[in-house]
Amino acid sequence: MRIAIVKESSASEPRVAASADTVKRYVGLGATVVVASGAGVASGVGDGEYEGAGATVVADNAAAVAGADIVLGVRRPEASALKGINPGALVIAIADPHGHEAALTEIAGTGASLFAMELMPRITRAQVMDVLSSQANLAGYRAVVDAAAEFGRAFPMMMTAAGTVPAARVFVMGAGVAGLQAIATARRLGAVVSATDVRPAAKEQVESLGAKFIAVEDEEFKQAETAGGYAKAMSAEYQAKQAALTAAHIAKQDIVITTALIPGRPAPKLVSADMVAAMKPGSILIDLAVERGGNVEGAVPGEVATTANGVKIVGHLNVPGRLAATASQLYAKNLYAFVETLIDKGSKALAVKWDDELVKATLLTKDGAVVHPGFAPAAPA
């Protein structure tokens, strides 16, 4: 059983799919682990560490995937990068399938079974495999750190002989994993924090962290959560009411952090240009949804944009990757926990249970076809 750890092809992706610790564990499961040289350098893991953990380091990705039974990556690899894998090899990554059906078809053509880690169901046994939570947690923390770096003032209230420094006012829009971590981090730094979310369950979570909850709590609000724990898309009427409530609130804030994402859809627009224009000069907006179109009007992917009234809109890409070492450590553990379920420990060989709910939820391609019901081509009439 050969497991390949590939080096990410994008310069904007510093994370890696394995740590030295998980390499040791794979070897303990009976696998031969092959790592592409330099795969972990951007995450602070050198080739020597992988070799010390029992892996073989090879020249490049092509050498790593040759004869591989399992290929582990952070981002979905190109189909052309899978040449030489064993028939039916498992490819496991953050596959980003929405809107990339053509790429899935190409990978299916290689014969690989592609798994999307971000489609892991949110059930108790899969918590340790939940890459969305592990990476969003870091994104929420980093959002506050980035805000503090851009903000020209202190976060906590300070009583000094020269006068009192008021506490920064932070408003977090979206109280999922990223939002809750942003709330907790901003509170630790001494800010006065408020937050909003369309999911009723978020109110208690926000208040438990010491933040004030802001939302239109009508009948639609009470039904605004899916069975999987995600936010539902809200009606235009609700969005208008919520926008009216938050517009005046945003004008008083020093920092606004937006985290709202709906799987498979463009990010909802939460902050209009008029809201941005109403903020004080020197205020900061951090848009964690910029890769999906952004929550903030005027956000530019990969840039810090400054408006005419002196407000900065921060649109960093791949925010978990800005903490590459920690993000890779957690992602590698998510991957290992899933891969472990696909291996028979007695025979030390692959033994995928294709009817397992985790497999069915994450499997995109198999036997030359796109098989996930959410992405498979429509059957002819």
Domain ranges across the chain:
2-130+323-367, 151-317
Specify the pLDDT at position 378: 67
State the DSSP string of 19-37: -HHHHHHHHHTT-EEEEET
- Give the SS3 label for residue 311: coil
pLDDT band at 204 (very low <50, low <70, confident <90, very high): very high
Mean predicted confidence (pLDDT) in 140-151: 98
Q: Which of 37, 47, 96, 122 is catalytic?
A: 122
What pLDDT, in 10s, does the model give residues 264-280? 788 989 999 999 999 99
Q: What is the pLDDT of residues 330-341, one digit of tens each?
A: 999 999 999 999
pLDDT recorded at residue 226: 64
Mean pLDDT, residues 307-314: 97
Identify the pLDDT of residue 273.
95
Between CA 365 and CA 372 the distance in angstroms is: 7
Q: What is the pLDDT of residue 231?
A: 63
Contact by Cβ (8 Å): 183, 207 = no
pTM reported for the whole predicted model: 0.91
Q: Is the pLDDT of residue 349 over 70?
A: yes
Nearest-angstrom CA–CA distance, 170 and 115 = 38
Copy the structure tokens of residue 165.
Answer: 């420094």
Backbone angles phi, psi at 101, to 5 degrees: -60, -35
The CATH number of the structural domain formed by 151-317 is: 3.40.50.720
What is the predicted pLDDT for the residue at 218?
Answer: 77
> How far, in Å, CA of 123 to CA of 208, rounded?
23
- Confidence band, pLDDT 50/70/90 cuts, at residue 229: low
Q: Which of 169, 187, 230, 272 is catalytic?
A: 230
Q: Catalytic one among 15, 26, 130, 142?
A: 130
Residue 122 appears among annotated catalytic residues: yes
pLDDT in tens, 156-197: 999 999 999 999 999 999 999 999 999 999 999 999 999 998
Confidence grade of residue 232 (pLDDT, cut at 50, 70, 90) = low
Say whether 134 is catalytic. no
Which has more pLDDT, 88 or 243?
88
User: For 2-130+323-367, which CATH superfamily applies?
Assistant: NAD(P)-binding Rossmann-like Domain (3.40.50.720)
Q: Judge whether residue 285 has pLDDT over 70.
A: yes
Q: Say which of 113, 133, 134, 205 is annotated catalytic.
A: 133
Q: Does residue 50 have an active-site annotation? A: no
Q: What does 48-105 look like in DSSP terms, one character per residue?
A: HHHHHTT-EEESSHHHHHTT-SEEEEEEPPPGGGGTTPPTT-EEEEE---TT-HHHHH
Average pLDDT of the residues in 24-43: 97
Reply yes or no on whether 130 is catalytic.
yes
How high is the mean pLDDT of the chain?
93
Residue 227 has pLDDT above 70, yes or no: no
Confirm if 57 and 50 have CB atoms less than 8 A apart: yes
Q: Residue 381: pLDDT above 60?
A: no
Can you give the pLDDT at residue 224?
Answer: 64
The pLDDT score that the predictor gives to residue 376 is: 83
- Is position 133 annotated as part of the catalytic site? yes
Predicted local confidence at residue 318, as pLDDT: 96
State pLDDT tens for residues 11-24: 899 999 999 999 99
Question: Could you give phi then psi for residue 326, rounded to 5 degrees?
Answer: -70, -40
Q: What is the percent of the chain with per-residue pLDDT over 70, rounded to a whole number?
A: 96
Q: Which of 10, 12, 127, 208 is catalytic?
A: 127
- Collapsing DSSP to helix, strand or coil, 306 comes out as strand
Q: For 238-268, what is each residue's pLDDT tens digit? A: 878 878 888 989 999 999 999 998 877 889 8
DSSP secondary structure letters along 256-303: EEE----TTSPPPP-B-HHHHHHSPTT-EEEETTGGGT-SBTT--TTS
Same fold, 2-130+323-367 and 151-317: yes
pLDDT of residue 84: 94
